[in-house]
Structures are given as C-alpha cells and as structure tokens.
Amino acid sequence: MPEERPVPSMPDLDLLEAAQAKLEQEQQATAAPPNASVGPRSFSMPSSNTTVTPRMPEAEVTYHNLEQLYPNPPVPLYEGEMVLHNSTLLDLTGCGALMDWISEGHGCVVEMRRMMKRTTEFNQALSILYEFVEGDVQGQIIRITDTRLLLLPQGCRGIKGTEMESFAVAPDDLTDVYG
C-alpha cells in the first residue's frame, strides 16, 4: 500500500491579511508626506470626462440625420423620376461616390468650398468629374453658385433662368429622347 504523504497545515489567512495590511500602512506612511491626506485610489475613464459634446441648437423643427438612420435607403424610382443627392466634396476620394450616383441616373448638388482652397486637388476633381459626367455618361455639369455644382445624368438638361422656368420650354425639351 502506498505511503500517505503528509498534508501541510493550512496557514492562518487572517494573520496573513493583517500582516499585509500592516505592511501597506508602513509603505504609505513613508511614501506620503505627513500632512497629505491619503484618499482612495482612482483612475480616469472616458465616460467620466467633463467635456461636453456640442449639441444641435434647439429649434422649432426637429432634424434627423438621415445618413446615419438610412445610409442606403431603398428609394423607389418610377418612369421619369430621379433622386437628387446633396453632398459636400472634401477631397478626391469623394469623386467615386458622385460618379456612382451619376451612373445610376441620380443628380447631385455638390458643395466644393473646402476643396477650392487646394487649387491642384480642386482642378483634378473638376477634371475627373467633367471627363466622366460630360464625356462618358453624356450628362451635364452646371454651376449653381460660386461654390456649388449640379451634376446631371444622361437624359436631364439644365435650363437658364428661374422665372416661369416650367413654362419656358416644352416638357420634351427637358429630357433627351434617344430612339
């Protein structure tokens, strides 16, 4: 029969805890100045920051950020209808989204004020958009204001003037008919 090994006695945990507490008190007494109060330890958490995030100003009308609510909404299109996107072009990487919309037959109002400060990048963006919209897709680029462009897909035309514009031309003149 195998010989039983002796089991060591269980240490007194209360004595160990008391000794640990006494050591910590001695270390704190030597590390802290005599008149400084020792408070609880703390650490910073991102949720406890006191900086206030800016909120939208109160208004009579409630606004919703539809881009966050519906990033790719299912927009039904019927014969002769088009989606008109409102966008801001911040750099050249946004040209791809604009070209995607135009190729899908959508129109775009594009704010370009931020890019206009960077002349080389601005000219490159205009070149890319012009080549695609007016060259490849046979659409139209119209300057609305000093900082905004209207990009129209194939089959849409812009007309000059705003007075009585719906009566200025016949409905057939507003769209290109290919047959």
3-class SS letters over 18-30: HHHHHHHHHHHHH
Tell me if 4 is assigned to some domain.
Answer: no
pLDDT digits (tens, 9 = 90+) for 4-15: 777 777 777 788
Per the rule left: phi > 0, alpha: psi between -120 and 50, beta: everything else, 114 is alpha
pLDDT digits (tens, 9 = 90+) for 75-133: 776 777 788 899 999 989 899 999 999 988 889 999 999 888 899 999 999 999 999 99
Tell me if 113 is assigned to some domain.
Answer: yes
The pair of three-digit structure tokens given for residue 176, joined into one six-digit string: 């290109």
Q: At what angle do helices 119-130 and 95-103 cross, to 10 degrees?
A: 20
The CATH number that applies at residue 157 is 3.30.110.150
Tell me if 35 is assigned to some domain.
Answer: no
The pair of three-digit structure tokens given for residue 15, joined into one six-digit string: 């004595």
Cα 119 from Cα 112, distance rounded (Å):
11
Torsion on CA atoms 142, 111, 97, 175, rounded to nearest 10:
-30
The pair of three-digit structure tokens given for residue 29, joined into one six-digit string: 């007494």
Cα 65 from Cα 71, distance rounded (Å):
10
Tell me if 155 is assigned to some domain.
Answer: yes
Tell me if 146 is assigned to some domain.
Answer: yes
User: What's the alpha-carbon Rg for the chain, to the nearest Å?
Assistant: 35
- Checking if the pLDDT of 165 tops 60, the result is no
pTM: 0.52
Tell me if 68 is assigned to some domain.
Answer: no
Range of the domain at 133: 82-174
Question: How many domains does the chain fold into?
Answer: 1
Tell me if 152 is assigned to some domain.
Answer: yes
